[in-house]
Amino acid sequence: MTALLRVGLAGLCVAAVCSAQDAPPKTSYTWEVFRVPAKGEPESIGNEAVEVTTAEGQRVIASTSTLSLGPQPLELTQRLVVDASGEFVRYSLKSSTHDLSCERDEAGIVLTGKVMGGDQRRTLQPEGLLICLDNLAWSHYDVLGQHAAKRGQAFGFTALVPQAMLGIPARFAPGDEAEVTDGEASRKARRGRLSAGNLLVELVYDQGSGRVYEVQVPGQRLLARRGAWRLASAAPAAPVAALPEGVRERAVSVPTPGYAPGLPGALTVPAGDGPFPTALLLSGSGPHDLDETIGPNKPLRDLAWQLAAGGVASLRVAKRTQVVLERMKASNGEEQRALSTQLAGMGLEEEYLEDAQAALAFLRAQEEVDPAAIALVGHSLGALLAPEIARAGEVQAVVLLAGPGRRLDAVLADQVLAGQLRLGKTPAEAEAATREILAPVAGLAEADVAPEGRFMGASLAYWKDVFARDPVHATRELAVPVCVVWGERDAQVTLPDFEALKGVVLARVNRKDGMLRFPGLNHLFMPCDEGAAGEEYMIPGRVAPQVGPSVARWIRDALAE
């Protein structure tokens, strides 16, 4: 499904916890900032020079940063003042895009200044713990670490983000112990995770003082390290994923008229002798690989292995968009331009429909597969397209994993509105922001012809094509059994979608139809905390062990004579 919108929090500044009288009068240090490529060593992209002074009952954290995040280096000067008890007093930021000040008065927290050349003013009235988080000031994480060290357990707070003129609900949770070293001394530390809006930030901080040594923003591939301090050892490795006992998997190349070299795939087969009932797995929106890799997670791989352990073979295939995108990245010149044009022109026909039919034809020719017992399992946007693919491809059952139950323009509007509310905006502000964000696609579903232009990386013609699909009608018209599967903590496809599809299933009165509803699971069918809104996708996880067996059982029953 459409990726949830994110606020650009990459560095945080926070109000002090420790008493100013306990701090040294002046300290100076530096942070080095890195961009972390998908493969290879981190690349330095800038630094931050920090000076902390204590005088007259106040603590001042002043920093200057130079970062290369785009075509032009970004230079920032920030100054945070807190009182002896750690209460926020004032804050200022100067850069090429911002000239802001933020102070506390009788009305609350008042933010004023210029953002991108426009005058801004806002008053916030946060309740409970307030921690100021803003704009690549890595040094300010120290005080968040001090909060964490003092409390020793998870806590919630309001993240004051002057750059965005917002107060965002946030939560910090401590994690495993760690050890850091500067090459001479070693200290005990602890890992921790901060969730703010849709952003996940990972910290390594001193268990005693709260001093922060390392900060990572996985979703933005940013890493900052304090001085010479480094982790003495890597994070505990996640258990290596392994095929269930007896399950076999082989790499395949799926021929398709739309991509002559063939698309890479994996055929996963249960233990024993076949042929087996088999599922074609369809991933969600975006240029996914065959595992539907999202951050460190591989939901389609997990599902395929679970299905095989439950007696159902499966085929998963890289999307043509992903294969062309990777080729484009590895090419240059005229070839790269041609591939870019090809990628930009792809619609649902090229992204799903054509290659899905080719994959079904490929499946029927495999000796491990029972050609009369094939199910189509679509996830997210793949679930929206699954009924259409099933009608054209003569499959015997359909599973809708986290599928929308409304037209996608309505689902998208809810996603954007929820994202704005998570940023701490009032309902009126969130609704106004949602209208502004969605203005490029307003009325697009009813337009005779899509205008030129792009939205969220895709052409308006692509979005019009997506908005035209009615999942309720498509599911109602299916002649084969259908199973609706939903995780109750899904922040992208929500209860109204499940209820809409549930209503269709009940109205169809097909004795083989099914509904599976899993408490505590998110859009990837992985466990997550209540209130998680997509930032947890960057946390390594696995599809919950109850999901695959339940889906496999339904597929076997639905395909049985």
Rounded Cα–Cα distance for residues 303 and 399 (Å): 13
Q: How far is CA 359 from CA 119, 268, 270, in A?
A: 55, 14, 19
Rounded Cα–Cα distance for residues 554 and 478 (Å): 17
Which pLDDT score, from 0 to 100, does residue 425 have? 87
Which candidate, 297, 308, 316, places its Cα nearest to that of 376? 316
Which pLDDT score, from 0 to 100, does residue 74 have? 87
Which candidate, 139, 100, 142, places its Cα nearest to that of 122? 100
Question: How many Cα neighbours within 13 Å face the side chain of 438?
Answer: 24
Q: pLDDT tens across 249-289, in order?
A: 999 999 998 888 899 999 999 999 889 999 999 999 988 99
Q: Which helix (H) or strand (E) holds 121?
A: strand 118-124
Rounded Cα–Cα distance for residues 445 and 458 (Å): 15
pTM of the model: 0.85
* Beta pairing partners, 33: 46, 224
Rounded Cα–Cα distance for residues 86 and 509 (Å): 63
Q: What is the CA angle 155-161-163, rounded to 5?
A: 160
Rounded Cα–Cα distance for residues 43 and 68 (Å): 11
Q: Out of 63-72, 367-376, 460-469, which region has the weakest mean confidence (pLDDT)?
A: 63-72
| Collapsed DSSP state (helix, strand, coil) of residue 8 | coil
Rounded Cα–Cα distance for residues 477 and 479 (Å): 6
Q: Where are the alpha helices (DSSP H) in 13-70?
A: none
Rounded Cα–Cα distance for residues 413 and 441 (Å): 10
Length in residues, the chain: 561
Q: pLDDT tens across 413-458, in order?
A: 999 999 999 888 889 999 999 999 999 999 888 888 888 888 888 8
Please give the mean pLDDT across all residues of the chain: 88
| Collapsed DSSP state (helix, strand, coil) of residue 472 | helix
| Residue entry with tokens 């506390």 | 104
- 147 carries an active-site annotation: no
* Beta pairing partners, 49: 30, 64
* Beta pairing partners, 483: 399, 514
Pairing of strands 514-518, 482-487: parallel
Which pLDDT score, from 0 to 100, does residue 99 have? 92
Q: Which helix (H) or strand (E) holds 348?
A: helix 348-348
Longest alpha-carbon distance in the chain: 83
Which pLDDT score, from 0 to 100, does residue 452 have? 85
- 523 carries an active-site annotation: yes
Task: Dig out the tokens for 284 from the structure.
Answer: 């969600």
Which candidate, 243, 262, 240, places its Cα nearest to that of 253? 262
| Residue entry with tokens 């003569």 | 394
Q: Which amino acid is present at 11?
A: G
Report the side by side order of strands in the sheet with 397-401: 248-256, 259-269, 313-317, 276-282, 369-379, 397-401, 482-487, 514-518
Question: Where are the extended beta strands (E) located within 211-332?
Answer: 212-217, 222-226, 230-231, 248-256, 259-269, 276-282, 313-317
Of these residues, 92, 380, 459, 550, which one is catalytic? 380
Q: Using CA atoms in the order 56, 59, 64, 67, what is the torsion angle rounded to 10 degrees?
A: -170
| Residue entry with tokens 């090419």 | 331
CATH 1.10.3720.10 fits 254-323+352-406+470-559, yes or no: no
Q: Out of 16-20, 88-92, 233-237, which region has the weakest mean confidence (pLDDT)?
A: 16-20
Peptide bond into 275 cis (omega under 30): yes
Which candidate, 176, 91, 77, places its Cα nearest to that of 131? 91
Question: How many Cα neighbours within 13 Å face the side chain of 58?
Answer: 12
Which pLDDT score, from 0 to 100, does residue 238 have? 63
| Collapsed DSSP state (helix, strand, coil) of residue 417 | helix
Q: What is the mean pLDDT of residues 9-28?
A: 48
Which candidate, 535, 288, 497, places its Cα nearest to that of 412? 497
Of these residues, 355, 513, 523, 550, which one is catalytic? 523
Which pLDDT score, from 0 to 100, does residue 6 have? 34
Contact of 396 with 376, CB cutoff 8 Å? no
User: pLDDT band at residue 14, thresholds of 50, 70 and 90?
Assistant: very low
Which candidate, 411, 396, 394, 399, places its Cα nearest to that of 469? 411
Q: Give percent above pLDDT 90 in the chain.
A: 58
Which pLDDT score, from 0 to 100, does residue 339 have? 83
Q: pLDDT tens across 97-122, in order?
A: 889 999 988 888 999 998 888 898 98
Of these residues, 134, 206, 490, 513, which one is catalytic? 490
Task: Dig out the tokens for 208 from the structure.
Answer: 């005693």
Rounded Cα–Cα distance for residues 182 and 258 (Å): 54
Q: pLDDT tens across 170-191, in order?
A: 999 999 999 999 989 999 999 9
User: pLDDT band at residue 305, thresholds of 50, 70 and 90?
Assistant: very high
- 490 carries an active-site annotation: yes
Q: Using alpha carbons only, how large is the chain's radius of gyration in Å?
A: 26
Q: Other CB atoms closer than 10 Å to residue 545's CB: what's the count?
A: 11
Which pLDDT score, from 0 to 100, does residue 368 have? 95
Task: Dig out the tokens for 525 from the structure.
Answer: 């069918």
DSSP 8-state symbol, 462: H
Q: Where are the alpha helices (DSSP H) in 199-345?
A: 299-309, 320-330, 333-344
Q: Which amino acid is present at 334?
A: E
Q: What does the domain layout of the chain look like in residue ranges?
A: 20-231, 254-323+352-406+470-559, 408-468
Rounded Cα–Cα distance for residues 483 and 514 (Å): 4
Task: Dig out the tokens for 273 from the structure.
Answer: 């002798």
| Residue entry with tokens 């009235």 | 125
Please give the residue that has the higher pLDDT: either 46 or 129: 46
